[in-house]
Amino acid sequence: MKANRFITHVRRLAEIEKPLANFLASGLLTLGEKLGPILWQFPPNFRYDPESFTRFLDLLPPDTARASAIARKHESWMRGRSAVRAEGLRTLRHAIEVRNESFRNPGFLKSLRERKLALVVSHSSGRWPFFEELTSDFAYARLHGEGELYSGEYGEEALRFWKRRISSWAKGTQSGGGRDVYVYFDNDAKFKAPSDATTLIELLQKARAPVSFRRGA
């Protein structure tokens, strides 16, 4: 689930309490166990500001109970088109995708680790800064295209590189244990994403990587 750009791109984290409630009430709580990490993507010209970003991170609900409580505060225009009830108590995962060099900041990484939020490994072939910092008990990668943004095909050689990285993330460390890994191919402008995803799955299966596969709808 990708968060509403009204929060990240239009409001740019300013006065987002109501928009956040609206987003959480928009139906995602009805997905139950099908709901994976919620992606919060920021534009390239969005710079790291410790105060406002920390305030934003503290607003993110850690579980469905908190998300339901926030969703109930949605704006009146959503009456009759909202879903605020969560079926059971589940932990919510949040993944943060940033595209500005100012986020290469120890304080930012510390704030993610403290809240167990994942920093997205976003590959854009040099278009945006590349971060590979594991800050949570899961890893999340978005592959936007090899060579050409949104349409470049990765091919087997490049996918072998990602196979090694994903295997490493999944195995985790001696102290941290293993991780769930989520990989999203965004090179869909020329329909390369399905074939790249299929090849990557095959490579991981051949390597007997400790990764389980669940295709989304």
pTM of structure: 0.92
- What SS3 state is found at 63? strand
Total number of domains in the chain: 2
> Residue 118's pLDDT is what?
98
**With 50 as the cut, is the pLDDT of residue 217 above it?**
no
One domain, residues 68 and 172: no
Residues 6+ apart with CB under 8 A from 100: 42, 44, 45, 46, 47, 48, 128, 129
How many CB atoms within 10 Å of residue 122?
Answer: 22
> Nearest-CA neighbor of 51 among 116, 122, 107, 117?
107
Q: Residue 22, exposed/middle/buried by CB under 10 A (0-12, 13-18, 19+)?
A: buried
pLDDT tens for 89-130 read: 999 999 999 999 999 999 999 999 999 999 999 999 899 999
Domain membership of residue 68 as a residue range: 1-123
If asked whether residues 151 and 112 sit together in one domain, one would say no
Residue 19's H or E segment, with its range, is helix 17-24
Instruction: Count Cα atoms within 13 angstroms, Cβ side, for 44.
Output: 7
Taking only the tens place, the pLDDT of each residue in 149-187 is 999 999 999 999 999 999 999 887 534 567 899 999 999
For residue 131, being part of any structural domain is answered with no
